[in-house]
Copies of this chain bind each other. A is one copy, B any other.
Amino acid sequence: MKNNKYLTIYEEMVEQIKNGTLKPNTKLPSENDLVEQYDTSRETVRKALTMLSQNGYIQKVRGKGSFVLDMTKFDFPISGLVSFKELAQKMGKPWKTIVNEFELIKPDDYLQKHLSVTGKDSVWKVLRSREMDGERIILDKDYFNKKYVPILTKEICEGSIYEYLEEDLQLKISFAKKEIYVEEPTEEDCRYIDLQDYNHVVVVKNFVYLEDASLFQYTESRHRLDKFRFVDFARRGH
């Protein structure tokens, strides 16, 4: 059980914003007020406020105060990493995952380069179709370095691999690079996606890194054109 004061403050305030105790477009108590309220130091309060700001909950304005943002404008999760399961649940649609292929392979050159593994390492390869409203609209191709994921079963693949990795294996995913583009469908796409007349697919490539900066997963998510949607929420750096 962690005991981070700033995290506690952050989570409490998120809760208050979500349940309406703190209303959109109103001013938050000043940092000094919060110091008294939470009986802590100012830097700790500020750390919580910075997190709220970075996650799109509030807006800090020097000399004036911090203001609650209207989250209803942003009807999507403030995050670039959304699993299919989350997405489907959010849309309230029935969905299904079909495991097409599931095996341990020796990586080819392309994979060796992208996963930073040698030909001697083993790599899990998982091909899954995602079905919604009776149509297979997404093909997910996942590759995991066996060094980090020693055990994987077909049952896990039918659920959320993502949850398995984070919750069961306790792998700490730290950052991901994403590339999105459009290309013509491969023979594989035709086999595993109900393409109808669409003659292109949207490809989302994901390179997932662990906390120690080692790449452990490479994913290609191939979407039928009409069912693709991506939402991103970006803050400006300096």
Contact = CB atoms under 8 A, between A and B. Distances in A.
A59 B177 contact: no
Given A59-B211, A236-B81, A182 B182 contact: yes
A54 B237 contact: yes
A43 B44 CA distance: 12
Given A7-B238, A234-B81, A228 B181 contact: yes
A56 B181 contact: no
Given A213-B59, A213-B67, A234 B79 contact: yes
A137 interface: no
Nearest to A175: B235
A87 interface: no
Given A177-B231, A178-B231, 19 more contacts: A54-B237, A59-B211, A74-B177, A79-B234, A80-B234, A81-B236, A174-B235, A174-B236, A175-B234, A175-B236, A176-B236, A178-B232, A178-B233, A179-B229, A179-B232, A180-B231, A181-B228, A182-B202, A200-B225
